[in-house]
Structure 1
Amino acid sequence: MRLTGPQRVEVHAKGVRMRRYSGDDTLAAPGILRNPVPVRALFDRRAAHRATLRNLLQREGYEDLASVLRAGARKGKAEGKIEGRAEGLSEGKAEGLFEGKAEGLIEAIFDTLAVRDIEIDAETRARIRNCRDANRLKAWLRKAVMAESLSDIF
């Protein structure tokens, strides 16, 4: 191949007559490039970059740059779902453990007060049931063990 004149190319091949191409033509390289290369890409840097990028993308299995972006978005979405699911399960498990622990402390307070024959009014029962502070529930349980009345606890 030899560049001649303003956007003209001569292509020489063994056993084949020399051929001339102009800026509007394309050159094919079967087995090397999937797409023909515009002759203007040999003279215009921007056209060369576009042709090179397209061939490189197609060599990797992408039709164009937009398909690379779509593939990246799909991959990111899939990874996000996996991470989100794992994070959600972890948070749900932690929340469930906390709820179970709080419920256990609440029942322990009620059982302790029942064993000690201390009557619990509806307001106090609701106060204990609605508490989600594990430290406060533990403190109430410790006090309930020694309490003579509700006023010793609250």
Structure 2
Amino acid sequence: MRKHDHALLAPGREGSGRTLHAPSGGRSRSHLPHVDDRLAPPETRLEYLDGAELFAAPADPPHATQHFDLTYVLGAHVAKGYRGAVDMLTRTDEASDYAPDASIFAQKPDRSGRRRLEELAFEVCDKQALAVPTGKARRLIERGVRRVFCILVKQRRVLEWSRETDGWRPLPKDAVIEDPCLVRPLPIQSLLDAASSDDAVARALLDKRVPALEQAVAEGEARGAAIGELRMAQEAITTALRSRGIDVPAGVARAIAGCNDVNKLRRWLAKAVTATTASEVVAGSRRKR
């Protein structure tokens, strides 16, 4: 373990100790298996890291809820042309095949028609041995993943892997993650705070121009415009009367304020410029009641 490994907390996974024998030597990308060539059996909880078999155990809160919050926020931020995934196995080398907790990869297949390597990867860490997420991050970076992040559940912090130091660096809580894979900058705070998550998701979906959401916004704006027109017409009637020195009794004021028919208000406004009393303006409506 390197001296900077203390910066990373551990999630709840433990290795079984069984070792997989694999070819030794350097990790030349040209001789690596494809990211979709499986070493770990899919749809199980087994993973492999440097030949060691790991068991990905289920989690309790707050580890489990942090997984949900991560995928909730991340999913809304995935940009066009990219795809998000949860627990997707990635073959990083001959002896390693494991799944980041969440990842984003280009949606267009590679030249062979198979899925591409993820560009962003996220781990949620709680009780795991320090060497495991650190080793995973190194292998992912060596394989070509551009950025790897780790959420520390107990410390409520987010880390990003640094190529320069070969270790984790903490990200300020008021920082954002900017990347071509994301439709808009992802606030760090939204990964740590459920209240901030909803705001971040809503802003991301607006930036994506989701049709249903755009329609809801347009309908809201239309309702707001209609209400604004009603209020202006109601105020114009009382202003017209009072500017002519005509008193507006409480009953008439209530009738004007309670009218939600803009066409009727327009008729009342026309009356208000010639009426001798306020009651004349709403007389027809009051007789019908």
Q: Which has the higher contact order (CA 8 A, sep 6+)?
A: 2
Q: TM-score range by the shorter chain?
A: 0.3 to 0.5
TM-score by length of 1: 0.47
Question: Greater strand share, 1 or 2?
Answer: 2
- In terms of Rg, which structure is larger? 1
TM-score w.r.t. length of structure 2:
0.26
Structure with higher helix content:
1
